[in-house]
Amino acid sequence: MTGEPLIDPFGREVNYLRVSVTDRCDFRCVYCMSEEMTFLPKAEILSLEELDRVCSAFVSRGVRKLRLTGGEPLVRRNIMSLFRNLSRHLDSGDLDELTVTTNASQLSKYAKELAGYGVRRINVSLDSLLPEKFASITRWGKFDKVMAGLEAAKDAGIEVKINCVALKGVNDDEICEFVGWCGKHGFDLTFIEVMPMGDIGGETRVDQYLPLSMVRATLNEKWTLDDIDYSSGGPARYSICKETGRKVGFITPMTHNFCESCNRVRLTCTGTLYMCLGQEDAADLRTPLRMSDQDDLLLDAIDEAIGRKPKGHDFIIDRRRQRPSVSRHMSVTGG
Ligand code: SAM
Ligand code: SF4
């Protein structure tokens, strides 16, 4: 770190940057995208070199964890070059963790290389263990490819945490099975409540919303979950499953407010910085980035943005509103 740490108006230090490197994806998960999506024109997207510059500017100001996400980060062309370049911050000791959230479709191809660039843990999204149901949730996903990708990650020595979005009437009957399956494979697991982000076509979130209190009640019928104090630096609350010995986490943005300890900001692939996942306010970093080869303007814009980080968010899934409370898709801001 060469500059001052990034401290927001509420005294929280921002040391975690999530970067959506593309808005494109090879899946069309029903809760995330509609089948017909209009993606951003190329000129608006930061090049891999520009993404490296922004990430490195944040690292110079004390960011110690970088997560690349999307869309599907591993479908961006030449994405391995960004991992390779960013890994220099791991080597220098300025960065603690370089990681990725992925649907695993490309992991067979890339797991080994990722491990070589210092990626030790990854998050993989998986919402069903049944091939047919998996196909109906992801629309375009290939279950076997995902399973092969997970094996490749294991073989490369990468730790995997499965993220499972709890969907009412869709995967609620698999909740207990997920814990056993993850235990068998040595994966940690986090359940996520569906968030009202972006227009997704026909279905409404009210239909999909399954509070994690109900997930937890279901799990308690089969598994012994002991709450632990562990934090991965994120909003999940963790338990240990006594029978499998693996962690089971719960991310409940709808029912539990985790904003007090928020240490993160999110960059989109167009260089827009969102200081809060649940708010519309954002800062344009692409203009200062492209205005100069030096980073002064960029760093000023980052400081100005962190000075506006809001105290918290207010998601609502409401039967009367029937509209997403945040209009952009999760694939834009990154999960
Ligand atoms: N494509 C990658 C993947 O699926 O892991 C990374 C991007 S995806 C947008 C990141 C995470 O956001 C995934 O775990 C996904 O399940 C979650 N997600 C997407 N839309 C969501 C929503 N409306 N509510 C809750 N989680 C959502
Ligand atoms: Fe793609 Fe991930 Fe969204 Fe699914 S959740 S459509 S894999 S970006």
CB 73 within 8 A of CB 86: no
- Would the CB of 329 count as within 6 Å of ligand 2? no
* Virtual torsion, Cα 36, 142, 51, 188, nearest 10 deg: 120
Buried b (16+ CB within 10 A) or exposed e, 9-35: eeebebbbbbbbbbbbbbbbbbbbbbe
In this predicted structure, the answer to whether residue 329 has a pLDDT above a threshold of 90 is no
- Would the CB of 25 count as within 6 Å of ligand 2? yes
Mind listing the pLDDT tens digit for each residue in 233-284?
A: 667 889 999 999 999 999 876 554 567 888 999 999 999 999 987 778 899 9
Mind listing the pLDDT tens digit for each residue in 3-20?
A: 899 999 999 999 999 999
Pocket test for ligand 2, best of 33, 127, 332 (most atoms within 8 A of CB): 33
CB 18 within 8 A of CB 67: yes
- Would the CB of 141 count as within 6 Å of ligand 1? no
Ligand 1, atom 14, lies closest to the CA of 125
Q: Given the CA of residue 70, which atom of ligand 2 is nearest to it?
A: 8
d(CA 97, CA 24): 24
Q: Given the CA of residue 193, which atom of ligand 1 is nearest to it?
A: 25
pLDDT at position 327: 61
Confidence of residue 1 (pLDDT cuts 50, 70, 90): confident
d(CA 176, CA 181): 9
Q: Report CA-CA distances (Å) from 126 to 107, 141, 156, 314.
A: 14, 10, 20, 26
DSSP one-letter code for 29: -
Q: Please check whether the domain covering 16-333 is classified as CATH 3.20.20.70.
A: yes
Q: How far is the CA of 25 from the centre of ligand 2 (A)?
A: 6
Query: So where are the chain's domains?
Result: 16-333
pTM: 0.92
Q: Which of 58, 66, 105, 72 is nearest to 87 (CA)?
A: 66
